[in-house]
Amino acid sequence: MSPSKIEEAAARLRASSWAVALTGAGISVESGIPDFRSPGGLWSRYDPMEYGDIRAFRMNPGKVWRMLVDMDRMLCEAKPNPAHEALAVLEREGILKGVITQNVDSLHQRAGSRTVVEFHGHGRSARCDQCGREVPREALKLENLPPRCGCGGPLRPNFVFFGEGIPREAYLQAAFMMERCDLLLVVGTSATVAPASQLPLMAKGRGAFLIEVNPNETELTAAQTDLHIALPAGKALPAIVSAMGLSMDPEGK
């Protein structure tokens, strides 16, 4: 990768007035969470329609929870990597106005990001699929599956299953950010699955400059991307932060 692309990205971010990041599974691979569809990912071990669809959950919540326990263990063991930390630095410095993530792993918040729109929800809490009561992740009793609410209904994580819509508040927040942003940093996602695929189009429609950080080319690369940095996020984003003369130290020292 030519240093000039890192330097251009740094200059573009410096010149922007309302930069936003859109992240996907690729940013968390370096934290030990494989892309769901990659070898070793959840969907290589569990059929997504058999375990990831809301209809499957409602037909047999105990069976789906076997996959959810596996997923929960993986998320709990993961730690933020330098890419998450670099985005937190950019927000701390007032350059990045927020992160829209398709991930449910909460690694952005754990790295220090404060404005995070969780497009597909999160795993920090669960709710009853019957009465809607919420409980923190720590209160889940996983000895007998599925864990149940006091009303008897099955509890489910607060993330989006296949067959469900994006939470309205998250979609409205993301749309608001896309309407305002003048630079969109797309990290670790091809952004080809609707409705997340609409977000880069919304930003480009408003004239935003699109920087894509992904080791591979995606459908975005030729159609929407203005600057493609073909490096893993954990290398590219800290390099951009360094090129801006910023410290990766969480305290800004």
Q: How far apart are CA 68 and CA 129, in angstroms?
A: 15
Give CA–CA dist 150/43, Å, rounded. 32
Cis ω for the linkage preceding 136 (within 30 of 0): no
Closest Cα to residue 192, out of 170, 222, 237? 222
Lookup result for tokens 């995070």 = 116
Question: What phi and psi values does residue 54 have, to the nearest 5 degrees?
Answer: -60, -30
Which of the following is catalytic: 108, 120, 122, 228? 120
Are the C-beta atoms of residues 190 and 217 closer than 8 Å to each other? no
Q: Would you say 115 and 42 are in contact if contact means Cβ atoms under 8 Å apart?
A: no
Question: 133: Cβ–Cβ under 8 A, 6 or more apart, which residues?
Answer: 127, 149, 150, 151
Q: Which amino acid is at 48?
A: P
Neighbouring residues of 169: CB distance < 8 A, sequence distance ≥ 6: none
Q: Are 105 and 188 in contact (CB under 8 A)?
A: no
For tokens 């968390």, name the residue. Answer: 28
120 is catalytic: yes
Question: Catalytic residue numbers?
Answer: 120
